[in-house]
Amino acid sequence: MPSRSTPLTRRQFGLGMVLLASPMAAPLSHAAPTQTVTVRNAQLRVTKELRAWSEVAEFHKYWKTKQPINRTSDDEQDWAFTLDIVGAGKAERWQYQSNGMAVRVGGNVERVYQIKSPKAFNELIGAFRF
Protein backbone atom coordinates (compact mmCIF):
# COMPACT_ATOMS: atom_id res chain seq x y z
CA MET A 1 0.00 0.00 0.00
CA PRO A 2 1.59 3.32 -1.05
CA SER A 3 2.22 5.87 1.70
CA ARG A 4 0.69 9.29 1.43
CA SER A 5 2.43 12.40 2.64
CA THR A 6 0.43 15.42 3.61
CA PRO A 7 2.01 18.85 3.20
CA LEU A 8 2.72 20.68 6.46
CA THR A 9 0.74 23.75 7.28
CA ARG A 10 2.61 26.88 8.36
CA ARG A 11 1.52 26.26 11.93
CA GLN A 12 2.78 22.67 11.92
CA PHE A 13 6.07 23.78 10.39
CA GLY A 14 6.40 26.56 13.00
CA LEU A 15 5.73 24.12 15.84
CA GLY A 16 8.37 21.79 14.44
CA MET A 17 10.91 24.63 14.42
CA VAL A 18 10.05 25.47 18.03
CA LEU A 19 10.65 21.85 19.01
CA LEU A 20 14.04 21.84 17.25
CA ALA A 21 15.01 24.98 19.15
CA SER A 22 13.84 23.58 22.48
CA PRO A 23 16.19 22.65 25.35
CA MET A 24 15.96 19.02 24.29
CA ALA A 25 18.03 19.98 21.23
CA ALA A 26 20.65 21.67 23.45
CA PRO A 27 23.51 19.19 22.89
CA LEU A 28 23.72 20.25 19.26
CA SER A 29 23.73 23.95 20.06
CA HIS A 30 26.42 23.70 22.77
CA ALA A 31 29.12 22.19 20.57
CA ALA A 32 32.46 23.97 20.62
CA PRO A 33 33.15 26.04 17.49
CA THR A 34 36.21 23.91 16.73
CA GLN A 35 35.53 20.41 15.44
CA THR A 36 39.04 18.92 15.17
CA VAL A 37 42.55 19.92 16.17
CA THR A 38 45.60 18.22 14.68
CA VAL A 39 48.92 18.72 16.46
CA ARG A 40 52.07 18.36 14.35
CA ASN A 41 55.72 18.32 15.31
CA ALA A 42 58.51 20.38 13.71
CA GLN A 43 58.63 17.92 10.78
CA LEU A 44 54.83 18.35 10.34
CA ARG A 45 54.17 14.76 11.40
CA VAL A 46 50.89 14.28 13.27
CA THR A 47 51.56 13.71 16.97
CA LYS A 48 48.01 14.01 18.30
CA GLU A 49 44.47 14.62 17.09
CA LEU A 50 41.66 15.98 19.21
CA ARG A 51 38.33 14.75 17.89
CA ALA A 52 36.27 13.82 20.95
CA TRP A 53 33.82 16.53 21.93
CA SER A 54 35.24 16.70 25.47
CA GLU A 55 38.81 17.20 24.21
CA VAL A 56 37.77 19.80 21.66
CA ALA A 57 35.74 21.67 24.28
CA GLU A 58 38.71 21.67 26.66
CA PHE A 59 40.99 22.87 23.85
CA HIS A 60 38.59 25.73 23.14
CA LYS A 61 38.51 26.65 26.85
CA TYR A 62 42.28 27.27 26.81
CA TRP A 63 42.51 28.58 23.24
CA LYS A 64 40.05 31.40 23.86
CA THR A 65 42.32 32.73 26.66
CA LYS A 66 45.05 33.73 24.20
CA GLN A 67 45.88 37.42 24.26
CA PRO A 68 48.04 39.45 21.87
CA ILE A 69 51.44 40.32 23.30
CA ASN A 70 54.26 42.62 22.28
CA ARG A 71 57.08 40.49 21.00
CA THR A 72 60.67 41.52 21.62
CA SER A 73 63.72 40.51 19.65
CA ASP A 74 64.83 38.46 22.69
CA ASP A 75 61.77 36.18 22.46
CA GLU A 76 62.63 32.59 21.67
CA GLN A 77 61.55 31.60 18.17
CA ASP A 78 61.17 27.84 18.62
CA TRP A 79 57.94 27.12 16.76
CA ALA A 80 58.16 23.39 17.41
CA PHE A 81 54.46 22.62 16.97
CA THR A 82 51.84 23.31 14.35
CA LEU A 83 48.14 23.32 15.19
CA ASP A 84 45.62 22.71 12.42
CA ILE A 85 42.26 23.90 13.72
CA VAL A 86 39.20 22.97 11.67
CA GLY A 87 35.64 24.01 12.41
CA ALA A 88 32.68 26.18 11.52
CA GLY A 89 33.43 25.84 7.81
CA LYS A 90 37.00 27.16 8.02
CA ALA A 91 40.49 25.95 8.81
CA GLU A 92 43.42 27.74 10.41
CA ARG A 93 47.04 26.79 10.93
CA TRP A 94 48.97 28.13 13.90
CA GLN A 95 52.54 27.70 15.02
CA TYR A 96 52.87 27.07 18.72
CA GLN A 97 55.66 27.05 21.32
CA SER A 98 55.52 25.07 24.53
CA ASN A 99 55.88 28.36 26.44
CA GLY A 100 52.33 29.23 25.35
CA MET A 101 53.11 31.56 22.46
CA ALA A 102 51.17 31.12 19.23
CA VAL A 103 51.18 32.82 15.85
CA ARG A 104 48.80 32.33 12.95
CA VAL A 105 50.42 31.01 9.78
CA GLY A 106 49.92 32.93 6.56
CA GLY A 107 50.72 36.39 5.32
CA ASN A 108 52.72 38.70 7.52
CA VAL A 109 53.32 37.77 11.13
CA GLU A 110 51.63 40.70 12.78
CA ARG A 111 50.51 39.35 16.13
CA VAL A 112 51.87 36.88 18.59
CA TYR A 113 49.50 35.50 21.21
CA GLN A 114 50.06 34.06 24.66
CA ILE A 115 47.92 31.28 26.17
CA LYS A 116 47.15 31.87 29.87
CA SER A 117 47.77 28.30 31.12
CA PRO A 118 50.45 26.82 28.85
CA LYS A 119 51.26 23.88 31.15
CA ALA A 120 47.68 22.56 31.17
CA PHE A 121 47.27 23.36 27.47
CA ASN A 122 50.49 21.48 26.65
CA GLU A 123 49.26 18.43 28.56
CA LEU A 124 46.05 18.46 26.55
CA ILE A 125 47.70 18.71 23.15
CA GLY A 126 50.81 16.68 23.99
CA ALA A 127 53.16 19.59 23.29
CA PHE A 128 56.03 18.91 25.61
CA ARG A 129 59.48 20.29 25.18
CA PHE A 130 62.09 17.57 24.85
pLDDT digits (tens, 9 = 90+) for 84-125: 999 888 899 999 999 999 999 986 667 899 999 999 999 999
- Region 33-47 average pLDDT: 90
The domain locations on the chain are: 31-125
Q: What percent of the chain has pLDDT over 90?
A: 53
Residue 10 pLDDT greater than 80, yes or no: no
Mean of per-residue pLDDT scores for the chain: 78
Tell me the residue length of the chain.
130
Nearest to 80 by CA among 58, 55, 100: 100
Q: What is the pLDDT of residue 19?
A: 39
Beta-carbon contacts of residue 77 (< 8 Å; ≥ 6 apart):
none
- Region 63-81 average pLDDT: 82
